[in-house]
C-alpha cells in the first residue's frame, strides 16, 4: 500500500515537471508580448522603458535560462509574480481556488449521485418510460455545449422567471448579512452554474451507470443474491450497485480534468470568481506567470484526484491491490 503510494507520488512528480516544461515552452512560443500589453495599458511607452520592464522581469534572457529559473522557483513553492496584478501568483490562485473547488465539487457530486441513481433506476426497467427519458436527457446533455446551456438557464431562471441571481458568487449587500444569510446567498448563486456544469457529466454518468448496472444485474452473483431470498433493495443497492460503481468511479477520476476545464467556460458565463475566470483574463492579458501557475495548479489537482481514485478503488473492490 505505502509502496504503491510512494511510486504513484514519484510518477506524479515526474508528470508535473513535464507539464511545467511543456506549458512554459508553449506559452513562450505563443504570439503576443506581455510587455507590450502592459505598455499599452499604461498608455504607451518608449523603447527604453519597454527594455527596462523586460529586464526587470528577466524576459530578455535566453529561453533555457528563463525556464530553469522558473523551475527552480516552483521547486521552492514560488509560482512567480503576476505582470498584471503585480502580486505573487500563489496568493492570486489561493484567493480564487476556493470558489472553483466549490463549483467543481458540487457539480461533480450532483452529477455522480444523480447520475448513478438515474442509471440504477433506468437499468431496473430497461424499457420503461423513465429509462427512455434518461436516454433522451443524456443525449441532450451530451450534445448541448456547456456555455449554451448556461445562457439558456440564465434566460429562463434569471430573466424570464427572475428567481435566481444572474451571475457572480454573492450579492452586493452580502456584507450586511449574517453567516447563514451569506451561505444562503452563495447557495442561490451556485444553483445555475452547478446545474450547467453538472449537466454534461450527469449525462455521462447516468449512461455509464445504466450500462454497468445492466451488466451486473445479469451476473451470477446477483442471481445468487436473489436465490438467497434477499429483498429487492438489498439485491440492487448492496450486491449490484457496489460492483457497478467501479467503472463510474474510474470515469469520474479520469474526467476530473475535463470538469476543471469545463469550469473555465462556466465561470466565464456566470462571472464566477474562480480560477477559470482568472485563467481567461490572464490569457487575454498575456499574464504568463499567472496562466502558468493556474495550469500547474490544475495539473496538481488532477493528479491528486487520480491518486485519490486509485485509493478509493481499494475500498470498493477488495480484489484490487490484494497482490
Binding residues for other proteins (CB under 8 A): 219-221, 223-232, 234, 239, 242-243, 316-319, 322
Q: CB 225 → other proteins: shortest distance, Å?
A: 7
Backbone angles phi, psi at 162, to 5 degrees: -75, 75
Backbone angles phi, psi at 88, to 5 degrees: -60, 135
Residues 134, 157: Cα–Cα separation, whole Å: 23
Q: CB 317 → other proteins: shortest distance, Å?
A: 6
Q: Which CB, 155 or 320, lies closer to other proteins?
A: 320
Q: CB 128 → other proteins: shortest distance, Å?
A: 12
Q: CB 250 → other proteins: shortest distance, Å?
A: 15
Q: Among 203, 191, 200, 199, which residue's Cα sits nearest to residue 270?
A: 191
Q: Which CB, 180 or 233, lies closer to other proteins?
A: 233
Q: CB 214 → other proteins: shortest distance, Å?
A: 13
Q: Which CB, 132 or 242, lies closer to other proteins?
A: 242
Are 167 and 272 in contact by the 8 Å Cβ rule? The answer is yes
Are 249 and 313 in contact by the 8 Å Cβ rule? The answer is yes
Phi-psi region for residue 30, left (φ > 0), alpha (ψ -120 to 50) or beta? Answer: beta
Q: Which CB, 170 or 219, lies closer to other proteins?
A: 219
Backbone angles phi, psi at 272, to 5 degrees: -80, 125
- The vertex-250 CA angle with 247 and 251, nearest 5°, equals 85
Q: Which CB, 78 or 215, lies closer to other proteins?
A: 215
Amino acid at each position: 500500500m505505502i509502496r504503491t503510494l510512494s511510486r504513484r507520488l514519484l510518477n506524479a512528480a515526474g508528470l508535473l515537471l513535464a507539464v511545467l516544461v511543456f506549458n512554459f515552452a508553449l506559452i513562450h512560443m505563443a504570439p503576443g508580448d506581455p510587455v507590450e500589453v502592459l505598455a499599452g495599458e499604461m498608455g504607451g511607452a518608449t523603447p527604453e522603458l519597454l527594455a527596462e520592464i523586460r529586464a526587470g522581469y528577466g524576459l530578455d534572457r535566453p529561453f533555457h535560462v528563463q525556464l530553469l529559473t522558473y523551475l527552480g522557483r516552483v521547486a521552492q513553492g514560488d509560482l512567480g509574480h503576476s505582470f498584471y496584478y503585480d502580486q505573487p501568483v500563489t496568493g492570486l490562485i489561493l484567493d480564487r481556488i476556493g470558489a472553483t473547488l466549490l463549483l467543481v465539487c458540487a457539480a461533480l457530486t450532483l452529477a455522480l449521485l444523480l447520475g448513478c441513481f438515474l442509471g440504477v433506476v433506468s437499468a431496473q426497467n430497461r424499457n420503461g418510460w423513465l429509462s427512455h427519458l434518461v436516454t433522451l436527457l443524456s443525449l441532450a446533455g451530451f450534445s448541448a455545449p456547456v456555455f449554451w446551456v448556461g445562457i439558456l438557464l440564465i434566460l429562463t431562471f434569471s430573466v424570464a422567471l427572475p428567481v435566481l441571481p444572474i451571475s457572480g458568487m454573492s450579492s452586493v449587500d452580502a456584507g450586511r448579512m449574517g453567516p447563514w444569510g451569506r451561505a444562503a446567498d452563495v447557495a442561490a448563486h451556485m444553483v445555475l452554474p452547478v446545474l450547467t456544469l453538472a449537466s454534461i457529466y450527469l449525462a455521462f454518468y447516468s449512461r455509464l451507470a445504466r450500462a454497468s448496472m445492466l451488466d451486473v444485474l445479469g451476473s451470477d452473483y446477483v442471481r445468487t443474491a436473489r436465490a438467497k431470498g434477499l429483498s429487492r433493495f438489498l439485491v440492487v443497492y448492496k450486491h449490484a450497485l457496489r460492483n457497478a460503481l467501479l467503472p463510474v468511479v474510474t470515469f469520474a477520476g479520469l474526467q476530473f480534468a475535463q470538469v476543471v476545464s469545463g469550469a473555465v467556460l462556466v465561470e466565464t458565463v456566470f462571472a464566477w470568481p474562480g480560477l477559470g475566470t482568472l485563467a481567461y483574463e490572464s490569457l487575454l492579458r498575456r499574464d504568463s506567470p499567472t496562466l502558468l501557475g493556474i495550469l500547474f495548479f490544475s495539473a496538481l489537482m488532477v493528479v491528486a484526484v487520480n491518486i485519490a481514485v486509485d485509493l478509493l478503488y481499494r475500498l470498493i473492490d477488495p480484489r484490487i491491490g490484494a497482490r
